[in-house]
Structures are given as C-alpha cells and as structure tokens.
C-alpha cells in the first residue's frame, strides 16, 4: 500500500533554500504497518497529474508550519497550504482516505469551513483526553502528547466532522468525517517511543477497512 505523506517546509537562509522535510519516524511507522511512505513535494505546479501517475492509496497530513491565514502565524508556507488544500480536493473527488495529524487536522477543519483558536500549555506537553462513548476505536486513548498552539474548539468544528476525542477544556483532539474516510488527531503518533498500539490500530483500520 502506497501512502502519500505531506511534508513541512523549512526555510534555510544560510543556503538560500526552501526545504521539504519529513520526520524519519513516519516512514518507519508505515513500514511497521507494511505500508510505503511516498513524500509529496510542495512546489509542484500540476500536483493532480503527479498524484494520478503515482496512484496512491491514501494520504497522511503531517504536522509543522502554521497556516498562512492565521493571525500572527509563524513559520508559514503558502506553497504547503496550496499543496495540502489541493490534495484534499483530490482525495474528496477520488474517495481516498486521509489521516491528518496536528496541523493536518487544522487544515482539514479549515478546508471544510471550520475554525481554530489559540490554546495554551499544549506545546511539548502530555495531557489527558476522553473519547465519545459512540467511538470505540478511540476508547483506549486516554493520554496524548501535544505540540500545537492552535486548537479546535467544539463550536468551531466543521459541520462535516464528528468529534471523537476531547481534552479537559472541551477542545477537540480527534475527529472523523461523517461521509468520507478522513480521520484527524491533534497528537503525534510518530513521536511516541515506542509507537502506541492504539495509534497503529487507527491508521491500519483507516487505510485497510475504513471508518464508514
């Protein structure tokens, strides 16, 4: 199974380069699930044609970079925003699964008409979460890592998304699309040592069985 995976953009001024970057733990995690990570560049002019050629089985949207549309945003990349919004259009048109992590879920929520809000004490922290009783696939997730400054208050969750996990301040920590196989989490499965069985099970189910 070939999974397209988006990349953060880092501006390296000393070399006058904009670099696409991917945490090495992502390919390792997918390899464990017998999937192949296909990194997606952020500077393609005809990304739909590129995606057609590769015939991917689904997508992972990774963390990093603020969205350029957010107030007082930092470390942004217009090219990445455009790339990821285009991929979501493609995934929706072709009914392909999407697993969205941290910024990834933020992008999905904005794409579907939702909003974000600044949060505090969510960078390099662990915190408790609780799942919706109707979402048994998330029931074993009770404590997660956190590396984000923007969160999803329930009142700003897009109408097409269903909240699955909350933190103690009622911010959405995981959600899934009501009609598409799109699942998003605000924590980072790739940063757990070792990888957590619950995270692996979520990713495996999404790409092999689906949530609908």
pLDDT in tens, 24-64: 999 999 999 999 999 999 999 999 999 999 999 999 999 99
Candidates 3.30.200.20, 3.40.190.10, 3.90.230.10, 3.40.50.880; CATH matching 2-208: 3.40.50.880
Please report the pLDDT score of residue 143 as a whole number: 94
Mean pLDDT of 14-27: 96
3-class SS of residue 184: strand
Mean pLDDT of 103-112: 98
Q: Phi and psi dihedrals of 30, rounded to 5?
A: -70, -35
Please report the pLDDT score of residue 67 as a whole number: 93
Are β-strands 150-153 and 182-185 bridged in parallel, bridged antiparallel, or unpaired? unpaired
* Cα distance between residue 105 and residue 110, in whole Å: 9
CA end-to-end distance (rounded Å), the chain: 20
Cβ-contact 103, 95 below 8 angstroms: no
Partner residues linked to 18 by β-bridges? 11
Percentage of residues in the chain having pLDDT higher than 90:
88
Q: What is the pLDDT of residues 124-166, one digit of tens each?
A: 789 899 999 999 999 999 999 988 789 999 999 999 999 999 9
Q: What's the mean per-residue pLDDT of the chain?
A: 95
Please report the pLDDT score of residue 107 as a whole number: 98
Mean pLDDT of 7-35: 96
Domain boundaries, given as residue ranges, for the chain:
2-208
Which pLDDT band, with edges at 50, 70 and 90, does 179 fall under?
very high
Cis peptide upstream of residue 194 (ω within 30 degrees of 0): yes
* Cα distance between residue 152 and residue 134, in whole Å: 20
Cβ-contact 80, 184 below 8 angstroms: no
* Cα distance between residue 176 and residue 163, in whole Å: 7
Choose between 157 and 72: higher pLDDT.
Answer: 157
With 0.85 as the threshold, say if the pTM is over it.
Answer: yes
Cβ-contact 38, 96 below 8 angstroms: no
Please report the pLDDT score of residue 212 as a whole number: 86
Statement: residue 123 has pLDDT above 90: no
- Count the neighbouring beta carbons within 10 Å of the beta carbon of residue 91: 22
Element (H, E) at 89: helix 78-94
Element (H, E) at 94: helix 78-94
Which pLDDT band, with edges at 50, 70 and 90, does 121 fall under?
confident
Among 37-46, 65-74, 159-168, 192-201, the range scoring the smallest mean pLDDT is 65-74
């Amino acid at each position: 199974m070939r999974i397209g995976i988006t990349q953060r953009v880092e501006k390296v001024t000393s070399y006058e380069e904009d670099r696409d970057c991917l945490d090495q733990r992502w390919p390792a995690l997918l390899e464990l699930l017998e999937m192949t990570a296909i990194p997606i560049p952020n500077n393609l002019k005809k990304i739909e044609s590129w995606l057609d050629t590769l015939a991917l089985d689904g997508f992972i949207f990774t963390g990093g970079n603020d969205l350029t549309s957010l107030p007082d945003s930092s470390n942004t990349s217009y090219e990445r925003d455009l790339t990821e919004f285009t991929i979501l259009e493609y995934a929706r048109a072709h009914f392909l699964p999407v697993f969205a992590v941290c910024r990834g879920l933020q992008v999905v929520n904005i794409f579907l008409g939702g909003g974000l809000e600044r949060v505090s004490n969510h960078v390099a922290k662990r915190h408790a979460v609780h799942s919706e009783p109707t979402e048994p696939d998330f029931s074993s997730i009770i404590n997660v890592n956190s590396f984000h400054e923007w969160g999803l208050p329930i009142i700003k969750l897009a109408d097409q998304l269903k909240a699955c996990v909350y933190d103690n301040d009622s911010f959405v920590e995981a959600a899934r699309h009501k009609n598409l196989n799109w699942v998003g989490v605000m924590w980072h499965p790739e940063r757990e040592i070792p990888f957590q069985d619950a995270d692996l099970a979520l990713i495996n189910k999404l790409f092999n069985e689906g949530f609908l």
